[in-house]
Amino acid sequence: MIVGAICCVAWSAGMMAGCELDNTGTPQVIAGPSVPSPVPLHAPYVWDTAEELMVWTNNAVSRGSFSIDSNDSNGAITIQFGGSSSGGPFLSSRPSPLLRGPDIDPPAKAVRAFRIRYQWLTELPVSFVPTLFIALEATNAPRADVQPQSSKSLQAGPGWKELEVVPSDMNAATGPLDVRYAYFWVSPQPAGLLKIDTITLVN
């Protein structure tokens, strides 16, 4: 009787004003593979030696064809993009190379940006630029299932350049992020060579 009355009142109110219902529950997250950090960093949240950068390339999550080039600076991750599989110079249909950083325990506090030092060497016109996408697993993300992400285009040409990417979900409400790990990928893949010699979580 009471339930019927409640339903009647709710239905009547809904008809007069209209209503929307969505009982979406809280998403659950199953963590992915962990990436240990066997190499102590010489500076907090900065990976810029060959040994430190290798943690990013040699783990269970990172994918793609990487090598560590020691001829330039203290060592750099090199990624050769071959263009399309049909031999064309422009875009590859292969999965984007992805690099996952080590687990940071305790989390890196108050991270406001992700920065790399890189060279993008290509003979293609400037309109064929790859974009760096970053994602951060943060303990203070807006929701447990949200990994703040962002992206920025790389600039071609010799000489080391810095690219700083600010996560788009980082705003006045959430503030800087407490990061457990970061990962990034590059897409599309026009023919060329990408070298990264420093990865930094900026706080």
Partner 1 sequence: MTLILPLLILVLSSTIAGAQALQVPRIEVGGQVGWIGAIGECFCILPIVGPRLTVNISQQNAVELSIETLTPAAPRAYGLYFLQFRRTPSRPSTWSGITPFYTVGTGGYYEHGRVPEYRQTRADGSVVIHPAHSTGELSRLNIASVGGGLERSLSRYASIRLEGSAFAVLDNGGFLAYRVLAGVSVPIGGYRANTIK
- By CB under 8 A, name the binding residues for partner 1: 11, 14-33, 60-61, 98, 100, 135, 137, 145, 147, 181, 183, 185
In the complex with partner 1, the residue whose CB is nearer, 50 or 146, is 146
In the complex with partner 1, the residue whose CB is nearer, 134 or 156, is 134
Kindly give the pairing relationship between strand 76-81 and strand 192-202: antiparallel
In the complex with partner 1, the residue whose CB is nearer, 9 or 43, is 9
Backbone angles phi, psi at 7, to 5 degrees: -60, -40
- Smallest distance from the beta carbon of 188 to partner 1, in angstroms? 16
- Smallest distance from the beta carbon of 135 to partner 1, in angstroms? 7
In the complex with partner 1, the residue whose CB is nearer, 52 or 137, is 137
Q: What distance, in Å, lies between the first and last C-alpha atoms of the chain?
A: 60
Looking up tokens 């994602």 gives 135
Contact between 203 and 154 (Cβ < 8 Å): no
Rounded to 5°, angle at Cα 137 from 91 and 202: 85
Helix or strand holding residue 3 (H, E): helix 2-17
- Smallest distance from the beta carbon of 29 to partner 1, in angstroms? 5
